[in-house]
Amino acid sequence: MSRLTRPPFIDPTTGIAYDTAKSEFEGYLAKQSMWLRDWRRRFFILKGSRLFFAKTPYEAPHGMIDLSRCTTVKSADLKSHKKHSFEISTPETTYLLYADDEKAKDDWIGSVGRAIVRCSSTYVSRGGATQGAGGNGGKSSQNNEYDDDSDDYSNSSNNPYFND
């Protein structure tokens, strides 16, 4: 029996095709549009250091956020005037998104935060090797037996990816 597969994302600038199958995390979020500032429900696909978005789970994604360029992911309920919202910031753009509930929001912030850290040039695994930004040859650190990420994302006041 054949399974439906999602078409790749084709970068309109470079023409590079990015495979979006076998994602690390996916689901629906609402995203504020850049030009009209209205909210649109989109299906988001997190794979490696890229967050893709499409209208439905099986359409080709029409947008991508390169998480290697991101500086923060944090709650944005006050900024967006929406419950369960968060922002993903790059030096050029801040993306406002909101989830259906608080648990989904926390899951997304955690997943995106881990992806940002993994592709950061300062990420060091418990084995001592530098990860991300070329430190592991472009491979995901998820297969590293020394790194389970379990206590890297505590909800402490020293963690920049979580807020009170």
Torsion of Cα atoms, 76 then 81 then 85 then 88, to 10° = -50
- pLDDT tens over the chain, length 164 residues: 445 688 999 999 999 999 999 999 999 999 999 888 899 999 999 999 999 999 999 999 999 999 999 999 999 999 999 999 999 999 999 999 999 999 999 999 999 999 999 988 765 566 655 444 443 333 333 443 334 444 444 444 554 544 44
What are the tens digits of pLDDT across the range 88-124? 999 999 999 999 999 999 999 999 999 999 988 765 5
Q: Which residues contact 36 (CB under 8 A, 6 or more apart)?
A: none
pTM exceeds 0.85 for this model: no
